[in-house]
Structure 1
């Protein structure tokens, strides 16, 4: 019965926290509204989730979230410097990122993480789901970029959601 009324408890709490950060207020009314959204969204979208979400290593997930938040801040500053500096010297690239991830959730999370980080965007997933095309606003060493994404994002996602 719990699964029926609370299909994704971690997602519920995550959405409530995201709501609180978006409204920039921890007032009781906003907390209640965040929890309501956090409960309703997973409840009404549970039929779109083909498999149950299992978090194998919650501490690795927490470390991953901190790394992503840090990378977003650093990338924002870097993109601002590049755009305000000398945009003529940008070296945009499409990069092929081979994937070790196999589940829909893990691949989606990686693609969204890449797109959330300023200066990169996930452009296309190959038909065989073994490769993700990523566009980088400015990259001089594409091999280093692939290694960075695989180590900082893909490895922890695989450890948390596919082990």
Structure 2
């Protein structure tokens, strides 16, 4: 997988050098062209396709995270600028599927980066995470959303 990534970056820089424009849109387009070229070359090679399944999942996860980030920012902003407070704070005991320290740290970062949620503590056996939620209307729905929308998708990328 690392070999394909490095080849993709090399093809991206070749694209940028050939076009003569170094900006983020040209870089992303060059990355996409390099990804497509590598995918076409490696289609016939069996067992070397992990990179080509993981990269689209990473981009989808980034888009999903930015959507959640914008939605949470809007919710907190509207609560701050309006006279009525809609906050319903609560603390959740969340059972983790993440096992390694890296997986737990990445999940905690994703939770902490979203406005309205803060990771308070981690149990000593690293099986539970305690999360403070600013807008907790339905505990089960929040846990289900966190599990299905963030943790499972993050673990698919990392593992």
Q: What range describes the TM-score normalised by the shorter chain of this pair?
A: 0.5 to 0.7
Which of 1 and 2 has higher RCO (CA within 8 Å, sep 6+)? 1
Matches within 5 A, 1:2-81: 57-81=54-78
SS at match of 1:138: coil
1:112 maps to what in 2? 109
1:160 paired with 2:157, answer: yes
Tell me the distance in 2 between the aligned counterparts of 1:92 and 1:133: 13
Worse overlay, 56-65 or 96-105? 56-65
Deviations 1:58-103 (A, max 9, x none): 2212111111111111110011112223454421001111101111
Higher Cα Rg, which structure: 2
SS at match of 2:126: coil
SS at match of 1:146: helix
1:134 maps to what in 2? 131
Asked whether the 8 Å contact 2:79–2:85 carries over to 1, the reply is no
**Runs of at least 5 residues in structure 2 that lack an aligned partner in the other structure:** 7-22, 25-49
Tell me the distance in 2 between the aligned counterparts of 1:120 and 1:58: 27
Cα 1:67/1:89, change in 2 over 3 Å: closer
Displacement of 1:111 in angstroms is 0.4
Tell me the distance in 2 between the aligned counterparts of 1:88 and 1:75: 15
Cα 1:161/1:84, change in 2 over 3 Å: same
Tell me the distance in 1 between the aligned counterparts of 2:121 and 2:83: 28
Q: How many residues align?
A: 116
